[in-house]
Structure 1
Amino acid sequence: MAHDDAGYGAPTRRDYLRYGGVAVASGLLAGCVGSSEPEETETTAATETSAPTGTETGTGTGTETGTPAGDGSHSVTMEPVGTVEFESVPERWIAYDGGYADMAVALGKGSGLTGIGSADRYYTYVYDELPGVSVDLEAIEANPEVRTKEEFYELENDVHLYDPGMLINWFDWDRADVEEVSSNVGPFLGNLIFRRSDEWHDYRYYTLYEAFETVAEVFQETERYEVLKAFHDEFIADVRAELPPADERPNVFLTYEGTAEPETFSPYRLDDRGTSKKQWRDLGVTDALAGTDIENLSTTNRGELDYENLLEVDPDVILVRGHERKSAAEFRETVLAYMREHPLGRELTAVRDGRVYRGGYLFQGPIHNLFLTERAAKQLYPDVFGEVGGDERLFDRERVAEIVTGGSE
């Protein structure tokens, strides 16, 4: 992107938000050079040792600091930016992805959204099942891909829930651009957590609920966060208590293939601890690729499997990403129907058994995760939790809506 600042003139931002502490530490972002905007794919590399295994929740350490001062001002710390000082609670905000946007919505801040960095991967239809929960859809339609300095200046947000390392490595920003927007418009605070394989991401990762806790500190909604976290923890514990023994669980092949007539499949490995695979870890699935030499999809490995390769693995369940705008029925009528007619695809166990399903969101927040976990439980264990598309509900929508809207905490 161009770095010409002509036309901006004096700072247009209200002067009540400022970076403090370490701000955008030059050492954290130095050398973050990369390219290419992400596709509807992700990569995996289980190299982070600080994240818990199994059920992922906040631990009370999602923010290194989150200190209110009693006068409305407070500070929040998150890698890679460091400590950000707020003189009041942000009202206008933007997020790059649907995961961070969903966090803010879960905290009752949906009306403050001014746009999104990637609207095509923000699935807002889940809010339709939660009475009173919504987000400003007009703002999303008006600003669906906010990625340039000019757009940040125009929107004048109080906080940007973006990982600045992502802007530098995907959208051709440099450190000076990040620092300029931070000073003249509003601070950045975010950490790319949906995957754990980008070489430039050499700082701490966060689990979904650790990042959610940080966002709650930004909006001074810690109590609401804690109530939703307790609801999540109980929900996951209840589901896990009903799981069959490990040796009776299906093995799963997770893939990306955006077409309705798939011929090849980009493979994922489930040992990654990025947030996009949280539901599969919580449900104790076995990776169908375990024990094989098939490498995970990554920025450097774009290898794909054809039907002959997949027949050698022959998974019990196939989960296909890239179809989240389809209903379960539409997916079966297109993708599964095509695979059933394919001369090799029809030989796959998962295809014969009708166990080919949508694979979930790349970016998921806490509300998304409740729905995706419920869906995944039905996909993997229909005898226990009911069929996909059935009426069985594994969590209380009304209660979630009450927490989000503040009706009963």
Structure 2
Amino acid sequence: MADDRSSTRRRFVASSIAAGTALAGCAGSDATEADESDGSTPDDTARPRTQTESTTDAGHTATLSPAGTVSFDAVPETVFTVYPQYLDMAVALGHGDAVQSVYVPEMSGPTMNHYYHHLDGVSLDWERLSDPLSDGFSKERLYTHDADVHLTDPAWVTTQDNWGADDVDEVATQLGPWFGNFYSGTHDQPPEGYDDYQYYDLWELFGAVADVFRERERYEALAAVHADLVERIQSQLPPVEDRPTAVRATLSGDGETFWTYHLNEPGYWLADTRPLGANDAFADQDWGGLWGTVDYETMLEADPDVFLHLWGMTPNYSITDTRTRLEDSASGSRLSAVENDRVYPAGMRYQGPIMNLFQIEMGAKQLYPEIFGEWPAYTDGEHYPEIHEGERLFDRQRVAEIVTR
């Protein structure tokens, strides 16, 4: 830790970190019910959100459940986080260099650079980042980082080994405030003691983080790109009955089972599939959450038109090997998606705003090639494929200008 902590270190005050802080204007769970007419939801077509930041002579504030309202007297210069959606947000806001950590850097970093490759002047030096979960989530690691802000959900932190409410308060007081929201990803119940926990869509969460960095203008510009992308896609979708059936799944390491995910349920983990409104081949399956495990027999019964292999563009999986294993399986080879060569790589569920733009475009082409153009061939380890300018669904140059200005 820095020696001058007592005199100059802290540039913020956690105004309300108590569990259950009530926030006006937040999206509740009822705001994400699917619209049966087009498969969209309010968070899929939203324009820039109402500003939550307030500024005074003493600094500025940002508000997010469950941390509450946090006051800063300067923009944070060092940032600790766990999951890559927050790193992607920081990059999008021009503050990627402030981030010190991310979950499995050797997976998250290259995957994000696969997208950033297409944005002039945008890149991530991921090799400098530490993995916050490499040896468990430890308080000692946080003191080592000594960050100005922790873009991590304090409710989630209390579920980790050797963490309690007192430890959460200690870090917020001695180091820097918590500012994250984990359970909006799945709309799962938060731990006991967070009864007034609020849920946000991805772009609302991004807007709150933008307030931490005083980057409301950048946020609004990117939110407009996102809204235009979703509107463009949804205005051209065919009737629900004419849309393909699809699964979002990951073939297990032993090749015998599948981790399967819903497509159109609430939660920012589905911020790239929900706007596309495909028919979920497992829509009737109740796994007690967004994902479950199925065998080949169950997958054959569902027999989706399209198989979106989650993590397929990350270094952790080979889409070529996945296709080969499915083709070599007596059951897998009978799947319509395999027979029709519609097994595609998908991105990461831990997606921030830039990742979300590319993953929405990717999914639109994989699900509706006759409308949005064919998804190009993809080779393991390569960047997001080059798409002809006339077939791109959002303006790369515009995004790059927003991020780098």
2:61 is matched with 75
Q: Secondary structure at the match of 2:185?
A: coil
- Aligned residue for 1:273, secondary structure, equals coil
User: Residues of 2 paired with 1:303 and 1:181: CA distance?
Assistant: 35
CA distance in 2, matches of 1:325, 1:283: 22
The reply on whether 1:235 has 2:229 as its aligned counterpart is yes
**Shift in alpha-carbon separation, 1:282–1:298, aligned structure 2, 3 A:** closer
8 Å contact from structure 1 (residues 257, 322) kept in 2: no
* Map of 1:335 onto structure 2: 322
Q: How far off its partner does 1:217 sit?
A: 0.6
Match of 1:124 in 2: 112
TM-score normalised to the size of structure 2? 0.83
Distance 1:175 1:327 in 2: 35
Q: Are the aligned partners of 2:155 and 2:190 in contact in 1 as well (CA < 8 Å)?
A: no
**Range moving further from structure 2, 264-273 or 49-58:** 49-58
- Residues 355 and 56 of structure 1: CA distance in aligned 2, closer, same or farther (over 3 Å): same
Is 1:345 matched up with 2:356? no
SS in 2 for 1:129: coil
The answer to whether the Cα contact below 8 Å between 1:255 and 1:359 also exists between their aligned partners in 2 is: no
Query: Do residues 211 (structure 1) and 202 (structure 2) align?
Result: no
Give runs of aligned pairs for residues 236-275 of structure 1, distance below 5 A.
236-259=230-253, 262-275=255-268
Within 5 Å, give how 1:6-405 maps onto structure 2. 14-21=8-15, 23-26=16-19, 48-51=29-32, 53-54=41-42, 55-57=44-46, 60-61=49-50, 65-70=52-57, 73-119=59-105, 120-121=107-108, 123-125=111-113, 126-140=115-129, 145=134, 147-192=137-182, 193-200=184-191, 202=195, 203-259=197-253, 262-290=255-283, 292=284, 294-296=285-287, 298=289, 304-325=293-314, 330-331=318-319, 333-389=320-376, 391-392=387-388, 393-405=392-404
Change in 2 beyond 3 A, CA 1:296/1:358: farther
The 10-residue stretch of structure 1 (120-129 or 207-216) with the greater mean CA deviation from structure 2:
120-129
Higher mean Cα deviation, 266-275 or 78-87? 266-275
Count of residue pairs the alignment pairs up: 372
In structure 2, relative to structure 1, the CA distance for the partners of 1:56 and 1:121 (3 Å cut) is farther
Task: Report the 3-state secondary structure (helix = DSSP H, G, I; strand = E; otherwise coil) of the residue aligned with 2:91.
Answer: helix
* Secondary structure at the counterpart of residue 17 of structure 2: coil
Amino acid at match of 1:124: M
Distance 2:371 2:316 in 1: 22
Instruction: Please say which of residues 210-219 and 276-285 is displaced more in the overlay.
Output: 276-285
Give CA-to-partner distance per residue, 1:14-38, whole Å, 9 cap, x none: 44323343x221567xxxxxxxxxx
TM-score (norm 1): 0.82
| Residues 58 and 209 in structure 1, CA contact (< 8 A), matched pair in contact too | no
**Conserved in 1, the CA contact under 8 Å of 2:101 and 2:132?**
yes
Cα deviation for residue 365 of structure 1 reads: 0.6
Q: 1:57 to 1:139 in 2, by over 3 A?
A: farther
Choose 81-90 or 235-244, whichever is displaced more.
235-244
Q: CA deviation at 1:143?
A: 6.4
Q: How far 1:58 moved relative to its partner? A: 5.6
1:322 to partner: Cα distance: 3.5
What's the RMSD between the two structures over aligned residues?
2.9
Q: C-alpha offsets along residues 213-268 of structure 1, whole Å, 9 cap, x if unaligned? A: 10111000101111111111112212222322322110112223343x62111232
SS at match of 2:122: coil
Shift of 1:304: 2.4
Deviation at 1:387, TM superposition (A): 2.2
Give the Å deviation of 1:326: 5.0
Secondary structure, in 3 states, of the residue corresponding to 1:369? helix
Contact 1:56–1:207 (8 Å) recurs in 2: no
The more displaced of 127-136 and 90-99 is 127-136
Q: Aligned partners of 1:354, 1:296: CA distance in 2, in Å?
A: 28
Contact kept? 2:120, 2:397, Cα under 8 Å? yes
Quote the offset at 1:371 in angstroms: 0.7
CA–CA distance in structure 1, aligned partners of residues 47 and 82 of structure 2: 22
Q: What is the rounded CA distance, in whole Å, between the counterparts of 1:322 and 1:234 in structure 2?
A: 26
The runs of 5 or more residues in structure 1 that have no matched partner are 1-6, 29-46
> Alignment partner of 2:271: what SS?
helix
CA contact (8 A) 1:254 1:318 kept: yes
> How far does residue 297 in structure 1 lie from its aligned partner after superposition?
6.3
